[in-house]
Structure 1
Amino acid sequence: MLNQFKSSIDRALSLNPDWKKLRNEWSAGVFPIQVSGIRGVWTALILSKLADLTGGPLLVVTGDEQEAKALSRDLSLFTDRVSTFPWWGTMLYRGVSPQAAIFGKRASVLAELAAGERRIVITSIRAALGLLPPPAEIRKSLTTLKIGGSINPTEIEERLQRFGYNRVPRVSVPGEFALRGEVLDVAPLGVSEAVRIVFAWDDVEEIRLFDPLTQISSESIEQITLHPLREVVWDTQRVEVLSEQLPGEGFEDVLDALKTGRELKGEELFYPLAFRETATLQDYLADRSATVFLDSERLEIAETNMLKEYRELFAAALEQGMEIPSPDTLITSLDSFISARKRRMVSRTLRNEEDENIYSLPCEPGRSFFGNINFLKEELVTLAENGFQIFVFAESESQSQRIGYLLRDLENVQVGPAALSAGFMLSDAKILVIQENEIFGRRKRASSSVARAKSTVIESFVDLDPGDLIVHINYGIGRFQGIKRIKAGGAERDYITLQYGDEETVFIPIEQVNLIQRYIGQEGRKPRLDRIGGTSWEKKKNRVKKSVADLADRLVKLYARRQTSVGYAFPEDDDFQISFEAAFPYEETVDQLSVIEEVKKDMESPKPMDRLVCGDVGYGKTEIAMRAAFKAVIGGRQVAYLCPTTILAEQHHESFTERFKRFPVTVGMLSRFVSPAEKKKVLQGLQKGEVDVVIGTHRILSKDVRFKN
Structure 2
Amino acid sequence: MVVAGEEAAERFARQLLAYLPHEAVLRYPERADLPWADTAPDPAVVGARARALWSLAKGREAVVVASARALLRRVPPRDAQAFEPLTLAAGAALDLSAATERLARMGYERVDAAEEPAQFAVRGGVLDVFAAGETAPVRAELFGDEIETLRRYLPSTGQTLADAPPTEVYPCREVVLGTRAVGNVERALGDSPDTDETLAHDLERMRAGVYFNGVERYLPLMYREPGAPTDYVHPSALVVVAEPRSLFDDAVRATEAVAAAAKATDLAAPVGAPKVRTAGLFLTPAQLDLGGARRRLTFLSLMRAGGSVDAELQVRRPDVAGGPERLAGALRALLDAARDVGLNAEDL
Question: TM-score with structure 1 length normalisation?
Answer: 0.39
User: Which amino acid in structure 1 is aligned with residue 2 of structure 2?
Assistant: V
Partner of 2:238: 290
1:266 aligns with 2:209: no
Task: Tell me, in whole angstroms, the C-alpha distance in 2 between the residues paired with 1:352 and 1:142.
Answer: 41
Listed one character per residue, the Cα deviations across residues 206-258 of structure 1 (whole Å, up to 9, x for unaligned) are 3334443463434532x333343212122332222223446994644443443
Distance 1:236 1:82, change over 3 A: same
1:235-634 alignment runs, 5 A limit: 235-245=178-188, 249=192, 251-260=199-208, 264-319=212-267, 320=269, 321-323=272-274, 325-336=276-287, 337-338=289-290, 340-351=292-303, 428-431=344-347
Counterpart of 1:165, as a letter, is Y
Structure 1 distance, partners of 2:167, 2:260, is: 43
Amino acid paired to 1:174: P
How much does 1:285 deviate? 1.9
Please state how far the C-alpha of 1:192 moved relative to its aligned partner.
0.2
Name the counterpart of 2:313. Answer: none
CA contact (8 A) 1:106 1:230 kept: no
- Structure 1 position 67, deviation (Å): 1.6
Which of 12, 15, 18 is matched with 1:77 structurally?
A: 18
- Give 1:618-697 correspondences, 5 Å limit: none
- Aligned match for 1:229, one of 159, 165, 172: 172
Cα RMSD, aligned residues only? 3.6
> Using a 3 Å threshold, how does the CA distance of structure 1 residues 209 and 325 change in structure 2: closer, same or farther?
same
Instruction: Give the CA deviation at 1:260.
Output: 4.8
1:203 CA drift (Å): 2.2
CA offset at residue 263 of structure 1?
6.2
Q: Aligned partners of 1:99 and 1:224: how far apart in 2? A: 20
Q: Which has the higher contact order (CA 8 A, sep 6+)?
A: 2
Letter in 2 for 1:74: Q
Q: 1:70 to 1:184 in 2, by over 3 A?
A: same
- In structure 2, do the counterparts of structure 1 residues 140 and 64 end up closer, same or farther at CA, with 3 Å as the change threshold? closer
CA spacing shift, 1:307–1:139, aligned 2, 3 Å = closer
CA distance in 1, matches of 2:104, 2:98: 10
User: Once the two structures are superposed, what CA deviation does each residue of 1:289-313 show, in whole Å capped at 9, x if it has no partner?
Assistant: 1212222121121222233333343
Secondary structure at the residue paired with 1:338?
A: coil
Written as runs of structure 1 = structure 2, the 5 A alignment for 1:29-68 is: 60-68=1-9
- Residue 329 of structure 1 aligns to a residue whose secondary structure is coil
Match of 2:332 in 1: none
Q: In proportion to residue count, which structure has more helix? A: 1
Q: What is aligned with 2:161?
A: 217
Q: What amino acid sits opposite 1:83 in the alignment?
A: L
- After TM superposition, give the deviation of residue 188 of structure 1 in Å: 0.8
Structure 1 residues 303, 168: CA separation in 2 closer, same or farther (over 3 Å shift)? closer
The change in CA–CA distance for 1:352 and 1:195 in structure 2 (over 3 A counts) is closer
Deviation at 1:202, TM superposition (A): 1.9
Q: 3-state DSSP class of the match of 1:328?
A: coil
Q: Give the equivalent residue in structure 1 for 2:339.
A: none
Provide the rounded CA distance (Å) in 1 between the counterparts of 2:146 and 2:301: 55
| Secondary structure in 2 matching 1:292 | strand
What amino acid does structure 2 have at the position aligned with 1:65? E
| Alignment of structure 1 residues 101-112 onto 2, 5 Å | 101-112=44-55
Matched, 1:132 2:84: no
Partner Cα distance (2:64, 2:53) in 1 = 10
Give me the identity figure in percent: 26
1:192 counterpart (99, 111, 135) = 135
Question: 2:92 is aligned with what amino acid?
Answer: G
1:281 to partner: Cα distance: 1.6
Deviation at 1:288, TM superposition (A): 0.6
Q: Provide the rounded CA distance (Å) in 1 between the counterparts of 2:105 and 2:36.
A: 27
Q: In the alignment, is residue 122 of structure 1 matched against residue 70 of structure 2? A: no
Gaps of 5+ in 1: 1-59, 356-381, 387-425, 433-709
Query: 1:353 and 1:191, CA in 2 relative to 1: closer, same or farther beyond 3 A?
Result: closer
Could you tell me how far 1:141 is from its partner in structure 2? 5.0
Aligned to 2:103, which of 133, 148, 160?
160
- TM-score, normalisation: structure 2: 0.73
Distance of aligned partners of 1:339 and 1:118 in 2 relative to their CA distance in 1, 3 Å threshold: closer
Question: Judging changes above 3 Å, is the alpha-carbon distance between structure 1 residues 95 and 150 closer, same or farther for their aligned structure 2 residues?
Answer: closer
Q: How many equivalent residue pairs?
A: 308
Q: SS where residue 2 of structure 2 aligns?
A: strand
Distance in structure 1 (CA, Å) of the matches to 2:105 and 2:286:
38
1:151 corresponds in structure 2 to: 94
Residue 229 of structure 2 aligns with an amino acid whose one-letter code is L
Name the counterpart of 2:150.
207
Distance in 2, Cα, partners of 1:267 & 1:324: 16
Contact 1:111 1:227 in 2 (8 A): no
| Preserved contact between residue 3 and residue 9 of structure 2 (Cα < 8 Å) | yes
Distance 2:189 2:28 in 1: 27
Report if aligned partners of 1:106, 1:231 keep a CA contact under 8 Å in 2. Answer: no
5+ long unaligned stretches in structure 2: 308-315, 321-341
The 3 A distance-change label for structure 1 pair 207 and 103 is: same
1:180 to 102, 118, 123: 123
Partner Cα separation in structure 1 for residue 260 and residue 346 of structure 2: 50
Alpha-carbon distance in 1 for matches of 2:304, 2:118:
51
CA offsets, 1:621-647, max 9 Å, x none? xxxxxxxxxxxxxxxxxxxxxxxxxxx
Amino acid at match of 1:220: A
Q: Secondary structure at the match of 1:164?
A: coil
Larger Rg: 1
